[in-house]
Amino acid sequence: MTGSVYVIVGLGAALAGFVQGLSGFAFGLVAMSIWAWVIDPQLAAALAVTGALAGQVIAAVTVRRGFDAGLLAPFVLGGLAGVPLGVLLLPHLDMHWFKTILGGVLVLWCPAMLLSKDLPRITVGGRIADAAIGLGGGVLGGLGGFTGTLPTLWCTLRGYDRDVQRAVIQNFNLSMLAVTLVIYMASGLVTRSMVPMILVVLPTMLLPALLGSRAYVGLSEAGFRTLVLGLLTASGVALLVSAVPELLR
């Protein structure tokens, strides 16, 4: 690969690291929206999972939030069932259609939530609904480190305050990404040829992730909600920009 590819991968990792440190999620969404232009989907997925896991470890150390095991358990149990499904789908999935569908949902739904000041909370479904969302998050994690997308949106719809939401997403992502990386390695999706790229991603995302974690502490409740929905919307736009031109060719 050319030097410019390594530079683009490093810049994507740095931006994604900061966003993840600030919001607690979105490393894969941000990084993949940049990397999709220069590297193949399987390499991008492996790098996204590796970088996102490193970012979650940093967040767990620097932004410590207590968690309710009873609240978290359905998400994690559902996610553990979903990760292997995502890994199985990865080699066979048309990533352009996947990005278009996911991007379209984010672009349509998140601004509506952002503009609705008095959006009612979703209280139905209980733990079964939480487990279903965890399952979806696990599948998306197996497809490329997108573990936090659905649970983050769901926690916002549930009306959790920022610290509860951060605790759920942070611990869910950490669990799912660790499992995803182990499965990637066991199934051969992470190869020796990827090591140079991994060695670019890990150091370049480290400092931005720390800076993002420090910035999170100063966010208000309303500011955090706006940040999360704004990031999800921007991620959806980036996914559409990278995928739609390929579908139209």
Task: Quote the pTM value.
Answer: 0.78
In tens, the pLDDT along 70-118 reads: 888 999 999 999 999 988 887 787 777 877 887 887 888 778 777 765 6
Which of the pair, 4 or 217, is modelled with greater confidence? Answer: 4
The distance from CA 221 to its chain's CA centroid, rounded to whole angstroms, is 21
Residue (of 27, 21, 142, 14) closest to 86 by Cα position: 142
pLDDT at res. 81 = 93
Residue (of 200, 209, 230, 178) closest to 38 by Cα position: 200
User: How far apart (Å, rounded) are the C-alpha atoms in residues 168 and 56?
Assistant: 12
Percent of the chain with pLDDT over 70: 95
> pLDDT grade, residue 212 (50/70/90)?
confident
> pLDDT grade, residue 25 (50/70/90)?
confident
In tens, the pLDDT along 141-164 reads: 887 777 877 888 888 888 888 888
User: How far apart (Å, rounded) are the C-alpha atoms in residues 227 and 114?
Assistant: 10
pLDDT at res. 13 = 93
Reduced to 3 states (helix: H, G, I; strand: E, B; else coil), residue 183 is helix
Average pLDDT, the chain: 84
